Structure 1
């Protein structure tokens, strides 16, 4: 099942979400690696298996094996990092900010694809998970790499739509 078919099954009260999925699929502002990489990263970041399956099918043949692996890896490492760094940021005891994380995250240094693309994927999942520290960190790296605010905003738009698709569908099934 394609992502369009999957989102087409959303009820009428989520018509805006269906229309937004269609807009993302027709998006021309991002190159395909970023577009489909963001879709795949955000699907995995949603942790909603039916959406993951639909997006995996949608992205089949549209991403290199390296880009697909990096998209999944971004979602995986952010699932861990977003919890840890959100805690260090929100905890009243600021001592945690100075402690080493002691978490393996080698994929961030060697993602197997263009570093800016991987950072964009990480930023999108960090936005989905509400980790301000991670959002700021990935945005700084992206800005240093010359990625403009419009591209960053596109990534967060992908995250918001994919999160909405997962949430509405999960609530009904």
Structure 2
């Protein structure tokens, strides 16, 4: 079980994705736990079974059980909040901004890992889900916690490539 299983499953036209999958994860400025948490949260958000299984298998070697659960929790909570905040933003009526979400989000306060790492994983998932409000908010929080622009950039690169691999494999499965 490895990234090799994903890259070997990708068709020839996605050779760039295969290359980038290894290079973004392999040369990240993030710690191994941050890198694999980002990859795992992104794989959950991207929803492809092969991508998720293989990344989860590799992530176990870099994240403890708490890290695995936190990465999955980041994807789960962002699946809800990205939709909610993106929709409020798209409506364009400022009166919605003052309305409380009233959605339970306790995992954000106690993620089981360093809160900065959790926010990094939330950023990656928010990028996949296309929530401008959440991407901006998480980036600001991360920068305030001492994360560099390069680290934020690496998390975005990892999420983009994991998502691209998942989309490509889903397309190939649908066309098979």
TM-score, with length taken from structure 1: 0.95
For 1:103 and 1:68, locate their aligned partners in 2 and report how far apart those are by CA, in whole Å: 23
- Partner residue of 1:75? 75
Q: Helix, strand or coil: the match of 1:61?
A: coil
Q: Quick check: 1:70–1:113 contact (8 Å CA) kept in 2?
A: yes
Deviation beyond 4 Å, 4+ runs, structure 1: none
Distance apart, 1:143 and its partner CA: 1.1
Once residues 49 and 104 of structure 2 are traced to their aligned partners in structure 1, the CA distance between those partners, rounded to angstroms, is 25
1:45 is aligned to 45
1:47-100 CA-partner distances (Å, limit 9, x unpaired) = 222211111112222211111111000000000000000001011333211111
| Counterpart check, 1:4 vs 2:4 | yes
SS at match of 1:141: helix
After the TM superposition, which residues 13-24 of structure 1 pair with which residues of structure 2 at under 5 Å, given as runs? 13-24=13-24
In the other structure, the counterpart of 1:140 is 140
Preserved CA contact (<8 Å) 1:4 1:21:
no
Residues 1:8 and 1:25: Cα distance change in structure 2 (over 3 Å): farther
Contact (CA 8 Å) 2:25, 2:158: kept in 1 or not?
no
- Residue 36 of structure 1 corresponds to 36
The reply on whether 1:172 has 2:166 as its aligned counterpart is no
Q: Which runs of 5+ in 2 are unaligned?
A: none
Shift of 1:7: 2.0
> 1:28 & 1:86 partners in 2: Cα distance?
29
Structure 1 position 66 matched with structure 2 position 58: no
CA RMSD of aligned residues (A): 1.1
What's the offset of the Cα at 1:28? 4.8
- Following superposition, the deviation at residue 25 of structure 1 comes to 3.6
Please say if residues 17 and 165 of structure 1, whose CA atoms lie closer than 8 Å, have aligned partners that are also in contact.
yes
